Amino acid sequence: MKLVPQTIVIWLITLGIIQAQTPSPQQTLSLPEAWQKAEKFNKTILEQDLRLKISHERLEQTKSERLPELGASTQYARVSNLPIYERGILNTPFQYPVLHNFFQLKTEAYFKVYEGKKLQTKIKAEETEHALVEEEKKQTESEVKLRIAAVYLDLQRNLIYKDLMLKNIEEAEKRLTEIRELNKNGVVLKSDLLRAELQLSRQKMTLHEIENSILITNQKLDLMIGLPDTTIVIPAPLPASDSLAKGYESFLDEAFDHAYQLKIASKQKEISELHLKEVRADYKPKVGLFAEYTYAYPQITFYPYAGALYGFGMAGLKASYSLSSLYHNKHREQAAMVEIQRQQVIESDREDQVRQAVKEAYVRYGEALHRIEVSELSTRQAAENYRIVHNTYFNQLSLLTDLLDADTQLLQSQYDLASARLAARLQYYQLLNTLGKL
């Protein structure tokens, strides 16, 4: 069937309307579930997984160096005549006849017996490097979890704000209806009505801004945990914040045992120490077993020569010592020793940083718990104040400005309470991240 242009336009418009009306998928997620998704789909964590695989392959490659070195080579050549200058180079030489075709097939093997434990040290360094990458991956996972928690709690905060604002708008509309009736009866001034309408307009604008923030934060969370960026995430209720049952010293002891910064600094120092051992191994002799076998044509290695294929093999013990290492390695060794000192300073600095971070997280978390208590009291006081001013205004005993101020104070105190609870939760996760236990 052939469609006329008008039919095509109508069909496209209808399709667009249907797609616009298709609701976005919704998914209820707790914060631990969001973390589990991030472990599988977060691109920062996936990049660390690939780094870990690369480190594993490097370690296996270094271990493979313990196997014997095997080689094979072949050679074919055209040999020139052999001029012999019996009467000096200025006179015509005698051309000694030779076989012009030369062929050689050679196989060889070498097995390292001793190199000052250089290979064992290199393997140990690669194992330590692999362990370092593992700790860096764990640190990255912890930091990603903390960022996800911040976005997740921000989304939850905005949703709570939205609910509070909707209730506040509903209350404001009821209040505006009552004021209109009073204004119609000449009880209140027109200015009161205009002021109430203005406040309602501002509240609706604030609601629109909150909804936009929800959309932005929702997409950010979707991308961080690997969901389609149109998925509407519905946060699950969070448990109440834990009290500080332990003191600062207990938390500090945990941090010194588990903090990723300290583990990473320790591994880096260990790698620098192993690198020094590698450098010093160059001062030691090298001993190995070797074997080789050669097929060649013609036989020109031993006298008398023969125009025939021959085979020749040998095996034995090979030892060598690099005299140049006595002066070539001097500055490399000094640099490696200074690197160890640098890593020791870094490790000490990391300990100071962890000590300060634990102190700050501990104090801030206690402060956040205290803020919850203050906000709960402020909310109760603001609710009672609004109730009193509301009753006095409609009994013509107070001004509308007092009522609107009381309404604003109540809404702000509710905002502050919700923010305090979520901020305390985030501060708790910050403390766990500092301890290396998130």
Predicted confidence (pLDDT) at residue 112 exceeds the cutoff of 90: no
pLDDT value, residue 399 = 83
pLDDT value, residue 298 = 85
Predicted confidence (pLDDT) at residue 2 exceeds the cutoff of 70: no
> pLDDT digits over 17-50, tens only?
444 445 678 888 889 999 999 999 999 999 999 9
The first and second tokens of residue 375, run together, are 């906000």
Domain boundaries, the chain: 5-41+115-285+321-435
Q: Give me the amino acid identity at 356.
A: Q
The CATH superfamily of 5-41+115-285+321-435 is: Outer membrane efflux proteins (OEP) (1.20.1600.10)
pLDDT value, residue 23 = 61
For residue 188, name the pLDDT band (cuts at 50, 70, 90).
confident
Contact 69, 265 (CB under 8 A): no
Share of the chain above pLDDT 70, in %: 94
- Region 403-412 average pLDDT: 88
For residue 91, name the pLDDT band (cuts at 50, 70, 90).
confident
- Region 112-117 average pLDDT: 85
This prediction has a pTM of 0.82
> pLDDT digits over 320-355, tens only?
888 888 888 889 889 999 999 999 999 999 999 999
pLDDT value, residue 187 = 78
For residue 65, name the pLDDT band (cuts at 50, 70, 90).
confident
What's the CA dihedral at 249, 250, 252, 256 to 10 degrees? 130
Q: Which of 14-18, 156-160, 365-369 has the lowest mean pLDDT?
A: 14-18
pLDDT higher at 415 or 94: 415
> pLDDT digits over 221-248, tens only?
999 999 998 889 999 887 776 677 778 8
> pLDDT digits over 246-293, tens only?
788 898 999 999 999 999 999 999 999 999 998 888 888 889 998 999
Predicted confidence (pLDDT) at residue 432 exceeds the cutoff of 70: yes
> pLDDT digits over 283-311, tens only?
888 899 989 999 888 887 776 777 888 88
Mean of pLDDT over the chain: 87
